[in-house]
Structure 1
């Protein structure tokens, strides 16, 4: 009775009501001012003003709709085409492989729910009995080395593809949903772990493994995991990001969310994720991601290539660079239309670009390097002791 009497006092009732009201508003127990970037300043960020304006003029002519450059926690430079802005969501295309799938994997790894070298068959019913799929690991799904065929058809637009490949992109209900198709119908065309070959169905199976690893966790689906563990703590409003084509598909009792595409993020939201990764998971004194999990995600795979665990890393396992103009420690996410998140820890810079293809005549990464990465990084004054971008 004494415990009950304690809650009958006017002070206790007032405190309880305040707590309930705060919960309803989504406030934190001790409400804090939302974190923001420092005041815009190209001078403090060490950027050549006239050079950057020339870069923007070139990028604007190449159908760039958003360019956001963050340095030393300041908005060093930003320009937007009409109808676009720092807080206006834009489709991410395959950048979702990093900021959705890669980030989700980092969280699950940090929680001890999944390991990169786990057999995917541990999470996928039936694969243990399939000789061609039994050897696939979580790492291989995340680094495009699983041997699973991509859902492409020699440059044919997705909407024109037939069979399972066309259905993969149409995102039909089960049993023709992309996860079931990736699990059961996508062919194995390489011995797992022997060759880097881009695979959207492989990344779909990473989503399947992640969902299976989250079964019974406080956030058993990827959307809520990212919402509660990353986006809310980073101060990203819910109307500035969405993932998985806005869908959750139930397969084998798992709530599956697409990781290969289907995201829409504002440039500000993307840049905040970039800052979290640059700082190895620390956000304003709080360790949101385990640093060892971030470090593992940014290691290149054993097979020659430049894919970490969902993230592109500039220095490959063979020592080659993906983007010649960027320092070795650069990493990021990229998608069709040259959507880009570039993070360069040694230069303390984050670059976000949205728009349409920069140069269809060039290889995807060569176009990024020549028209965006090289020119933007070329306007920066390198910190003391750091080589200029592109220096060999």
Structure 2
């Protein structure tokens, strides 16, 4: 047998092996396959935590609107509360940032920009900040003097001004108007402004009408997502920081793609290298001892990673877990080593909810792990 023929046979065998592995995976078509888990004490414990008696008068306590668990590509648990159901497109708040990162990942795979590109190359209003690169924005490390305070501190809040008052007509321009108070890339500072500058940059890269449809053509349609709504500001820029809406089952599709390193079935929607970047801790992140359970920032995603000797933010979850997180308890958790995706929509207002506690109970219920 010739060496060339042996190589061809080896390649054929590898292709067949890859094909058989793909066939063994479960992917949703028009809808998810449902394999509801049998009742158990562990599921009861999960529900007791996620769905306690709901206090709509004071909005206190853990207030889950939706909880969906995907295991091995199938729905194994699903429950809704209040007016929400499986068809409800829920406001994702800052999960939008991670969704837009995946949209950007498609553009990155098409060669439309590089992480080292100066932001001003793609978004001219950023010309006063020539040292800020696209990768800095993705790590929330632009160096902009930005205050990400919410309803409890509205007077000094950059994000409240951007979303609701003087910055709302052109949110990226409002963010670009801030001065730098740190060297770009040297310090993590969570910023919805950084995310909206990324959106405006993609708008300039793509141009209209491509930009208008791009989240759908690049990401949502390949994944079979039907419920997505994404608001734009008055300048026509998607509010990448905050205003995407999806139902829980559609959001889980993004989680399943991320679980498989950007692949959907046989199609590589987002480059695996981009997902690896999303899941790499920001190199200059310094944990805050006063926030020991705060997840570690990656590329517009949050990681259950140990950095600088700090403990895992979610000690009862695997260390490969990562998430898209949003205001008032919105969450898309991806646990690759457990073949699990968990979606939670919520209306938490008082800080009682714990990501770690929910994940611990979900793992006990659906992965057989001891709580």
Quote the residue 1:147 is aligned against.
143
Task: Answer yes or no: is the 8 Å Cα contact 1:278–1:344 preserved in 2.
Answer: yes
Match of 1:311 among 301, 314, 320: 301
Within a 5 Å distance, the mapping from 1:1-392 to structure 2 comes to 34-42=29-37, 49-61=40-52, 62-99=62-99, 101-125=100-124, 127-128=126-127, 130=128, 133-153=129-149, 156=152, 158=154, 161=155, 166-170=160-164, 177-184=170-177, 186-215=178-207, 220-221=210-211, 223-237=212-226, 240-243=227-230, 246-250=231-235, 255-304=236-285, 306-315=296-305, 318=308, 320=310, 321-357=312-348, 360=351, 367-370=354-357, 372-381=358-367
Q: For 1:187, what is the secondary structure of its paired residue?
A: coil
Counterpart Cα distance in 2 of 1:39 and 1:361: 31
Q: For 1:322, what is the secondary structure of its paired residue?
A: coil
Task: Answer yes or no: is the 8 Å Cα contact 2:96–2:244 preserved in 1.
Answer: yes
Task: Normalising by structure 2, report the TM-score.
Answer: 0.79
Residues 100-121 of structure 1 deviation map (CA, whole Å, 9 limit, x = unaligned):
x211221111111111222212
What is the CA-CA distance between 1:205 and the residue it aligns to?
Answer: 1.2
Counterpart Cα distance in 2 of 1:89 and 1:163: 28
Q: For 2:224, what is the secondary structure of its paired residue?
A: coil
The structure with more radius of gyration: 1
Q: For 1:256, what is the secondary structure of its paired residue?
A: coil
Q: For 2:297, what is the secondary structure of its paired residue?
A: coil
Task: Answer yes or no: is the 8 Å Cα contact 1:300–1:315 preserved in 2.
Answer: yes
Q: How many residues align?
A: 325
Unaligned runs of 5+ in 2: 1-27, 53-61, 287-295
Counterpart Cα distance in 1 of 2:84 and 2:222: 25
Assess, with a 3 A threshold, how the Cα gap between structure 1 residues 319 and 313 changes in structure 2: closer, same or farther. farther
Assess, with a 3 A threshold, how the Cα gap between structure 1 residues 154 and 111 changes in structure 2: closer, same or farther. closer
Task: Normalising by structure 1, report the TM-score.
Answer: 0.75
Assess, with a 3 A threshold, how the Cα gap between structure 1 residues 105 and 73 changes in structure 2: closer, same or farther. same
Unaligned runs of 5+ in 1: 1-32, 383-387
Residues 353-372 of structure 1 deviation map (CA, whole Å, 9 limit, x = unaligned):
1112275257xxxx2223x1
Task: Answer yes or no: is the 8 Å Cα contact 1:171–1:178 preserved in 2.
Answer: no
Q: CA RMSD in A?
A: 2.7
